């Protein structure tokens, strides 16, 4: 017969391992050491700025190109003709979205038709036709285009939307939806005036379409997706968020964007009680938060958010908010507070009654520049050792933010609060939106191999969408199940003895 203390030990060990496994839900592409990712970002920025300093004293062609921004210098300064090697961009992401492939190694698809006449069965040559394909595609545009969406644009895995060389404006109903997919790059496009949509059949792949529920009117909605990179976009005036990432999305980098004229700018996390969002990891770097913004730059629930070398020039309520114990690592940013004396604080603990509730939340500021009375309320001093790795390389001074964010947004696009444009580059097509025409023909760049099942007439079922072919792997519950079974069997054996 088992000794009583031995029986108790078995029970305690079972409970310990069950609880350990239950609290260790992981997401696809979640990094095991987010501090090391933050450290790598800082090292990359420092190295890029050092190269710029060295090249400024030389007469090489790259000396005038380098800004110290590691993303831009990666693809703009390694070749005199970026257009001949567009897919070099996929090698240039940093942070948690590093390694996002987009359509790398896929065919170049040229959008020739700016219309969106049939969201359920899009025509070849349109942007919608390109983004739903199953194969990797690098999507470019034949000319300047204004694309007015009739319904949300559902983007499949391994796609790059590359607006370089043309002025591409996307607006209308729903805008961009990145749902249960991975490896998507959105680069150098204007996104604005996005309205709620729904109640219509919309294609998600060449063989799968369904009636959509109502969308919120986000500029870009990231839902249960991983390996997503949003870079050099100009965004404003949407109904809900400019960028929302929820429902277990992770491995995301949001960089070099220009945000203006909006209330709730960016939401990261579905709900305080939604456990999988603990694995959300997002890098926010080199963005310009400009005129007419109110709050949520971002607003975080759970997860690890690295905010580095951004320029916060305007807010009406607060800049960075959170609930549900997110980790916020703010390094080398510039925060310029509004004139309102009641809105000087950068941070806001949303729906928190007192500091006893959030005093252990891990919110850190390092090397940030506070102007016009701005102040950042840090917390989590008792666990500051978690930041030893991420702080072992000093963040570059926020005085360099002007330089690092000089070209934020679409290249050559307007600067609402400055009345001037940033740098353009060889091949830039100029401003203004194109017409609704542009030809309806396809492109020889499309091969057309598909892997989908037969089409569906109703795609609105929530759980069907979650656990369908495009869903991310579910949290690893198998080991938890076995541990529970072992505990049950062990306890049953003890009771019989």
Q: Which one has a higher pLDDT value, 492 or 458?
A: 492
The token duo for 146 is 């204004």
Closest CA to 86 of 138, 128, 15, 31: 138
CA–CA gap between residue 252 and residue 413 (Å, rounded) = 24
Coil vs helix vs strand at 263: strand
Which range (87-91, 205-209, 411-415) has the least confidence?
A: 411-415
Segment holding 162, helix H or strand E: strand 159-162
pLDDT-based confidence at 59, cuts 50/70/90? low
With a CB cutoff of 8 Å and minimum separation 6, the contacts of 395 are 42, 45, 308, 309, 331, 332, 366, 367
Closest CA to 93 of 234, 282, 243: 282
- pLDDT of 370 higher than 60: yes
CA–CA gap between residue 127 and residue 215 (Å, rounded) = 20
- Looking at the chain, the number of H-run helices and the number of E-run strands are 8, 33
Q: Which of 76, 164, 212, 296 is catalytic?
A: 296
Q: Which one has a higher pLDDT value, 162 or 450?
A: 162
The token duo for 314 is 């305007």
Which range (74-88, 299-313, 334-348, 409-423) has the least confidence?
A: 409-423
Give the pLDDT mean for 19-32: 66
Closest CA to 310 of 260, 368, 230: 368
Q: Which one has a higher pLDDT value, 433 or 385?
A: 385
Given a contact cutoff of 8 angstroms between Cβ atoms, the answer to whether 235 and 192 are in contact is yes
End-to-end, the C-alpha distance of the chain in Å comes to 6
CA–CA gap between residue 130 and residue 160 (Å, rounded) = 10
pLDDT for the residue 28: 84
pLDDT for the residue 174: 92
Active site residue 296: yes
Given a contact cutoff of 8 angstroms between Cβ atoms, the answer to whether 82 and 164 are in contact is yes
- pLDDT of 81 higher than 60: yes
List of E strands, 332-423: 334-336, 347-349, 363-366, 369-371, 414-415, 420-421
Which range (58-62, 151-155, 436-440) has the least confidence?
A: 436-440
Give the pLDDT mean for 466-473: 32
């Amino acid at each position: 017969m088992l000794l009583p203390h031995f029986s108790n030990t078995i029970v305690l060990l079972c409970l310990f391992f069950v609880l350990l496994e239950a609290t260790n839900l992981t997401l696809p592409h979640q990094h095991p050491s987010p501090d090391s990712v933050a450290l790598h970002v800082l090292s990359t920025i420092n190295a890029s700025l050092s190269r710029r300093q060295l090249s400024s004293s030389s007469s090489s062609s790259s000396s005038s190109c380098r800004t110290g921004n590691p993303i831009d210098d990666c693809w703009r300064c390694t070749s005199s003709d970026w257009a001949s090697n567009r897919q070099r961009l996929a090698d240039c992401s940093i942070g948690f979205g590093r390694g996002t492939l987009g359509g790398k190694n896929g065919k170049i698809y040229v959008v020739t038709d700016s219309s969106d006449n049939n969201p359920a069965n899009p025509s070849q040559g349109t942007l919608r036709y390109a983004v739903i394909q199953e194969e990797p595609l690098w999507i470019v545009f034949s000319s300047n285009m204004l694309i007015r969406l009739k319904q949300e644009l559902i983007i499949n895995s391994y796609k790059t939307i590359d607006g370089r060389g043309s002025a591409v404006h996307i607006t209308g109903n729903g805008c961009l939806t990145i749902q249960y997919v991975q490896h998507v790059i959105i680069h150098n496009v204007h996104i604005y005036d996005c309205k709620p949509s729904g109640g219509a059949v919309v294609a998600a792949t060449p063989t799968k379409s369904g009636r959509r529920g109502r969308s919120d009117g986000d500029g870009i909605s990231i839902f249960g997706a991983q390996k997503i990179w949003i870079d050099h976009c100009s965004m404003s005036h949407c109904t809900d968020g400019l960028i929302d990432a929820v429902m277990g999305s992770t491995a995301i980098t949001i960089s070099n964007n220009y945000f203006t004229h909006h209330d709730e700018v960016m939401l990261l996390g579905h709900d305080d009680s939604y456990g999988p969002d603990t694995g959300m990891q997002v890098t926010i770097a080199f963005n310009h938060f400009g005129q007419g913004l109110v709050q949520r730059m971002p607003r975080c629930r759970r997860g690890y958010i690295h905010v580095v070398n951004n320029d916060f020039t305007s807010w009406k309520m607060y800049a960075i908010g959170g609930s549900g114990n997110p980790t916020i690592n703010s390094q080398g940013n510039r925060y310029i507070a509004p004139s309102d004396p009641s809105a000087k604080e950068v941070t806001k603990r949303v729906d928190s009654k007192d500091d006893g509730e959030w005093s252990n939340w891990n919110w850190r500021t390092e090397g940030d520049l506070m102007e016009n009375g701005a102040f950042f309320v840090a917390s989590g001093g008792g666990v500051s050792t978690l930041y030893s790795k991420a702080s072992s390389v000093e963040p570059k001074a926020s005085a360099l933010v002007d330089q690092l964010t000089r070209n934020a947004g679409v290249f050559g696009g307007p600067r609402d609060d400055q009345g001037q444009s940033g740098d353009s580059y060889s091949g830039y097509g100029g401003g203004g939106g194109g017409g609704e025409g542009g030809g309806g023909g396809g492109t020889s760049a499309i091969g057309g191999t598909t892997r989908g099942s037969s089409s569906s007439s109703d795609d609105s079922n929530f759980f069907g969408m979650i656990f369908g072919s495009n869903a991310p792997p579910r949290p690893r519950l198998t080991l938890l199940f076995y541990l529970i079974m072992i505990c049950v069997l062990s306890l049953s054996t003890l009771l019989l003895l």
